[in-house]
Amino acid sequence: MKRIWIAVPLVAFVLSACVTINIYFPAAAAEKAADKIIEEIWQVQKQDKPVVKTPAAKE
């Protein structure tokens, strides 16, 4: 009788561990979101760089 108290929760745990959740994203929407994130990152990096002025060449 003790074994059933161990087996039932063990079987429940094993069955619940076998559940898979799949989420599907439209490819176009995912690509558009990725492009937007990349653009935002590039803008931040460009703003962080100091502007370096090159001296005028002497003739």
- Number of domains the chain contains: 1
Q: Taking CA 50 as the corner, what is the angle to CA 48 and CA 51, rounded to the nearest 5 degrees?
A: 130
Measured between alpha carbons, how far is 44 from 41 in angstroms, rounded to an integer? 5
Predicted confidence pLDDT, tens digits, the chain (59 residues): 677 788 898 988 888 887 777 777 788 888 999 999 999 988 876 776 665 666 666 65
User: CA Rg, the chain, in Å?
Assistant: 29
Does 17 reside within a domain?
A: no
Predicted TM-score (pTM) of the model is: 0.37
Domain that holds residue 33: 22-48
Does 37 reside within a domain?
A: yes
